[in-house]
Structures are given as C-alpha cells and as structure tokens.
Chains A and B, each alone.
Chain A
Amino acid sequence: MKLVMAIIKPFKLDEVRQALTELGLQGMTVTEVKGYGRQKGHTEIYRGAEYAVNFLPKIKIEVVVPAKMVDKAVDAIVAAAKTGQIGDGKIFVVPVEQTVRIRTGETNESAL
C-alpha cells in the first residue's frame, strides 16, 4: 500500500476527485493548506500599501492505494490537476505499513 499525497490548486479539486473515482478508488481526505514552492506567493496592494503574501492557499489530497494502483492514481492526478502554469503543485508517494477499518476490524488492502 502507498499513501499518495498531492498538493494541488484549489479549483482543481473536483476534477481530481472525479479522476480518482473513475479509477475505482473509494474515499480520500482533503485539507485546506497554505504553502509556497517556485510560485513564491504574490503581492497585494491596498491604497498603495503593498503586502507580500508568501503562503498561497492550496488543497492537500491524501489517498491510500494498493501498490499496483499507484502509477494509475498518480497519472490521473497529474492529468486532472495540470494547468501548465507555475503553482500546479506536487505529488508525494510514501509507503504505508498498515491499514485498519475501524468499524469492522478489516486490515490492509481489504480495508481500503
């Protein structure tokens, strides 16, 4: 099992959710986050007062998938979240040791 963690542009969330659902993945966790990468924030100006906004709003998606599904899931996210503009985000894949479904006690892939 792998944890696929994707940081994407907020307005791309629906497209990414749809793409992952089409792969047959059930469920994901979404968090509103702030951060910066190469995009480096932006500047806001109010009546001449400039404020550098270093942390931009992003969406973090976390979804745990069976190892054989990882490439498909990553490809689906890339395809759905890509605009070609700076600030599209990143995807991290991390190994997962164990999964438990709390309601039934099922473990690992059958718990996904």
Chain B
Amino acid sequence: MTTLAKYLFGVVAALVLLALYHIDPALAQDAPEALAEVAEETAKLDTGDTAWMLTSTAIVLMMTIPGLALFYGGLVRKKNILTLVMQCFTITCLITIVWLFAGYSLAFTDGGGLNAYVGGLSKAFLSGVGKDTLSGTIPESVFFTFQLTFAIITPALIVGAFADRMKFSALVVFMVLWSLVVYSPITHWVWGGGFLADAGVLDFAGGTVVHINAGVAGLVCAIFLGKRFGYGTENMAPYNLVYSVIGASLLWVGWFGFNAGSAVAANESAGMAMAVTQVATAAAALGWMFMEWIVHKKPSVLGIISGAVAGLVAITPASGFVDPMGALWIGIAAGVICYFVSTTVKKAIGYDDSLDVFGIHGVGGIVGALLTGVFAVEAIGGTPGLLEGNPGQVLTQLWGIVATVVWAGLATFVILIITNIIIGVRVSQAVEVEGLDINLHGEVVQ
C-alpha cells in the first residue's frame, strides 16, 4: 500500500513538473503578444472560441436528433412513435437546405429598408462566405452551422403539439414555410439587428426566438387541427418513458451548447451561462416533482423530466444575464407555473396540445423572458434588471414577448390555412385510429 502511494506520488509530481515546464514559458510569451494583437486588430480568429463553437454546434444538433426525437417518441402511443422520430429527423434535413438557400441570410444579413423586420438575401446560398470569412472571432461557416442547429430544433419542437394527427406531406410544406416566414424574421428581430434588438430586449439564447415562438405556433396548430380522436376518453398513456428520460437527458446536456454556446466565445460569459443553466434546470425539475407529489400524491418520472425541460427553457433567455441565485428562482417559477398550465389550465380550457409544447416551451419561455427583466445583473450581462432598480427592463421584455406571440400566432395560422387548402393538414380518422406509423410510413414498432 505505501509503496503504491509513493509510486503514485512520484508520477503525479513528475507530471506537475512537466506541465509547469511547458506552461511557464508559454504564459510568459503569450501575454504581451495577446495585448499587442488586441491593439492591432479586433477581428481575428480565436482558436479557443472556434473549438468551443464547433463543440456547441455538434451537441445542439444532438438535442434534436436523437434528443427531442426520443423525448417526444417515448411520450406518444406505440402506433405513432416512428412518426414522431421521422418528423424530427426530416425537419433536421429539410431545414438544413432551407437555411442554406435563404434562411440564414434572412436572419443574419442587413435587410436594407426592411432591416427592422427581416434580413436580406445577400448571403442566400451562402454566397460570399468562404473558408476564411469570419463572424466575430470564429469562422462564419461555424456560426452558420451553429445557428442552423437552432433553426432546426425550433420547428421540431412544434411537432409535439400536433402529434398523432398531422399528415406527413402537410408537415413538410408547413415546416419549410414556417422556417422562412416565422423563424428567420423573428431571429432577425432579436439577433440580426432588428427592432427588438434596438428596443433592448434581452434574449441570450432564444427564449423568444426559439421557445415562445415554437410554443405559440404549437398552440395554434393544436387548436387548428383539433383534438385527437378519443381525447379525454381513450387511454393515451406514453409508450415508453425510458425513451423520454434518455431524450430529456440528451436535451439537458445539449443545452450547455445551446446556452453557453450562445456566448459565441469560450469566455467567462459562457461559463456563467453553463452554471445558471444547471441550477435553473435542477430547481425546475424539483419544483414540478414536488407540485405533483403534493397534488397527485406521487412524484412521477414524466413530472421530473418535464420540469427539467421547463427549467432549461426558462433559463434560456436569461442565461447570459443572471447570477446563480436568480437562476434558482427562475427555475422554481418555471417548474411550478409550467406544471400548473400543462395540467390544470390545459384541462380547463380544453385544447389538445398533445405533448405540451405550449405549456412547457411557450409558458416556460414567457416566464423566463419576463424574469430575465427582473433578475438581470449588470455585472454579469451589462444590463440591470428590476431588482437592481431598472423596472423598465421588464416592460422591454414584455414588448419582446408580445411581438413574438403576435407574429408567431398570426403567421402560423395563415400558413396552416394555406397548407390545409393545398393538401389538408389532418389524417383521416381511420388512419388516426390504426396508427400513423403503418399508414404513413409503412413501418411499425413491434
């Protein structure tokens, strides 16, 4: 035992000495160089930032496939699981092409006279973006792909609202139109220099752009398509909650790329975003679980993972602006409020949002966006919130919410009407009863 300890100590000491020998001269050389670089030119590729953004991009893609696909797939009945997975996978491929053709350009370029509302087409087909083109300190190719993963997950979130009853052909048409007409413009408003950015709306990683947007679109879809056949009378229990737990866990891990990646740098802001994401998620998961434990007498697996997703959603807009204690309160609020809306309010109003896209993403996004205005800390994100004596920020946040809700709601409704006229949005009752997997895709899970 003592021999082993001595041996280990020797190895560790040797490694430390080796590391010091290599790091010390490097530090001594780097510091003056770095200062000189800042003075000379601001736009220069940073390998650390680029490495983190490459990583973030990969794990945010993982949030949709397989994360969201499994989370949603496990929640529907066995006869529709392949349909849900197929929809997530198809949207991933479809939006990639849409984003290349025009989506990216509409979101992130200058729109000239219309710049307050939408970008232009100067980078359609990524024209003018080469290997060496930079976006800040990272290659624009990486920024394009990173933003693409957000453009993918947002429409993919909506499928939970009309699960079990939408035609696949209608989904393809709807998603292409929705990405171009709803997602790209709203992204431009907030992150591309549009009117919400000018108004000072705080949305670090997509509370309005991604979650309120998808949540409201989901609610409109759920109401437009109508309730599932047998809703309220038939047993619609999830097929396999273990899939959903795997999916929710992949979402949680991927969300570090989503929130900490939204710093678009490997810096202190990314670090704090990661910490607050973890705190808010845990708090919301516990919030939902305890609410369920009190009301229904049993803490459930579906409850704790639903709460976790609600917390991830709510901390998204706040992640670059609040401290860990703010995150704790945002998480608790999201867990409790989303629980209440997804169970009690949904039942009282009577809409059939199959997998609670509105109850979790819409409501969680609104809670997060508002509370960002309450808990923002000037020392962290540069903007003070209500608690630091800036009540106006809450109103600014509210303006961001209202603008997003109105456009997402109206445009989604119009796109649904168009899709319904062209091909019809809902499957026949026979198809719905027998299952979408066998009828739309010719496959079943045994």
A68 on the B face (CB < 8 A): no
- The listed residue with most B CB atoms (<10 A of its CB), out of A44, A46, A47, A51, is A47
Chain A positions 39-98 with a Cβ under 8 Å from a chain B Cβ: 44-49, 51, 53
B428 on the A face (CB < 8 A): no
- The listed residue with most A CB atoms (<10 A of its CB), out of B235, B303, B342, B346, is B235
Q: Is the interface of B mostly helix, strand, loop or mixed?
A: helix
Q: Could you say which of A44, A45, A48 contacts B342, with CB atoms under 8 Å apart?
A: A48
Hey, which chain A residues are within 8 Å of B429, CB to CB? none
Query: Known: A45-B296, A45-B298, A45-B300. Is A51-B237 also a contact (CB below 8 A)?
Result: yes
The CA of A70 and the CA of B356, in the complex, are separated in Å by 56
The CA of A104 and the CA of B324, in the complex, are separated in Å by 77
Hey, which chain B residues are within 8 Å of A45, CB to CB? 296, 298, 300
- Report whether A46 and B347 are in contact in the complex, using a CB–CB cutoff of 8 Å: no
Chain A positions 1-49 with a Cβ under 8 Å from a chain B Cβ: 44-49
In the assembled complex, the CB of A110 is this many whole angstroms from the nearest CB of chain B, namely 41
The CA of A53 and the CA of B234, in the complex, are separated in Å by 11
- Report whether A49 and B236 are in contact in the complex, using a CB–CB cutoff of 8 Å: yes
- The listed residue with most B CB atoms (<10 A of its CB), out of A44, A45, A48, A49, is A48
Q: Could you say which of A44, A46, A48, A51 contacts B344, with CB atoms under 8 Å apart?
A: A48
- Report whether B303 and A47 are in contact in the complex, using a CB–CB cutoff of 8 Å: yes
Q: Could you say which of A47, A48, A53 contacts B235, with CB atoms under 8 Å apart?
A: A53
Q: How many A-B residue pairs have CB under 8 A?
A: 28
In the assembled complex, the CB of A34 is this many whole angstroms from the nearest CB of chain B, namely 13
Hey, which chain A residues are within 8 Å of B344, CB to CB? 48
Nearest B residue to A45, CB-CB? B296
The CA of A2 and the CA of B331, in the complex, are separated in Å by 64
Hey, which chain A residues are within 8 Å of B342, CB to CB? 47-48
Hey, which chain A residues are within 8 Å of B296, CB to CB? 45, 48
Hey, which chain B residues are within 8 Å of A49, CB to CB? 236, 343, 347
Hey, which chain A residues are within 8 Å of B306, CB to CB? 47
B302 on the A face (CB < 8 A): yes
B238 on the A face (CB < 8 A): yes
The CA of A45 and the CA of B291, in the complex, are separated in Å by 14
In the assembled complex, the CB of B240 is this many whole angstroms from the nearest CB of chain A, namely 13
Binary A-proximity of B326-368 (CB < 8 A = 1, otherwise 0)? 0000000000000000111011000000001001000000000
- Report whether B235 and A51 are in contact in the complex, using a CB–CB cutoff of 8 Å: yes
Nearest B residue to A53, CB-CB? B235
- Report whether A47 and B236 are in contact in the complex, using a CB–CB cutoff of 8 Å: no
In the assembled complex, the CB of B243 is this many whole angstroms from the nearest CB of chain A, namely 14
Q: Could you say which of B237, B238, B298, B347 contacts A48, with CB atoms under 8 Å apart?
A: B347
Hey, which chain B residues are within 8 Å of A44, CB to CB? 237
The CA of A46 and the CA of B343, in the complex, are separated in Å by 9
Hey, which chain A residues are within 8 Å of B300, CB to CB? 45-46
Chain B positions 193-252 with a Cβ under 8 Å from a chain A Cβ: 235-238
Q: Could you say which of A46, A51, A53 contacts B302, with CB atoms under 8 Å apart?
A: A46
Hey, which chain A residues are within 8 Å of B359, CB to CB? 47
Nearest B residue to A52, CB-CB? B235
The CA of A49 and the CA of B356, in the complex, are separated in Å by 12
In the assembled complex, the CB of B163 is this many whole angstroms from the nearest CB of chain A, namely 13
The CA of A47 and the CA of B347, in the complex, are separated in Å by 10
In the assembled complex, the CB of B364 is this many whole angstroms from the nearest CB of chain A, namely 14
- Report whether B356 and A46 are in contact in the complex, using a CB–CB cutoff of 8 Å: no
Chain B positions 299-315 with a Cβ under 8 Å from a chain A Cβ: 300, 302-303, 306
In the assembled complex, the CB of A72 is this many whole angstroms from the nearest CB of chain B, namely 40
The CA of A45 and the CA of B302, in the complex, are separated in Å by 10
Hey, which chain B residues are within 8 Å of A46, CB to CB? 237-238, 300, 302
The CA of A72 and the CA of B356, in the complex, are separated in Å by 55
In the assembled complex, the CB of A47 is this many whole angstroms from the nearest CB of chain B, namely 5
- The listed residue with most B CB atoms (<10 A of its CB), out of A46, A49, A51, is A46
5 interchain residue pairs of minimum CB distance: A48-B343, A51-B235, A47-B342, A45-B296, A51-B237
What are 28 A-to-B residue pairs whose CB atoms are below 8 Å? A44-B237, A45-B296, A45-B298, A45-B300, A46-B237, A46-B238, A46-B300, A46-B302, A47-B302, A47-B303, A47-B306, A47-B342, A47-B343, A47-B356, A47-B359, A48-B296, A48-B342, A48-B343, A48-B344, A48-B346, A48-B347, A49-B236, A49-B343, A49-B347, A51-B235, A51-B236, A51-B237, A53-B235
Give 8 new A-B contacts, CB below 8 A, not counting A44-B237, A47-B306, A49-B347.
A45-B296, A45-B298, A45-B300, A46-B237, A48-B296, A49-B343, A51-B236, A51-B237
Please list the residues of chain A having a beta carbon within 8 angstroms of any beta carbon in chain B. Answer: 44-49, 51, 53
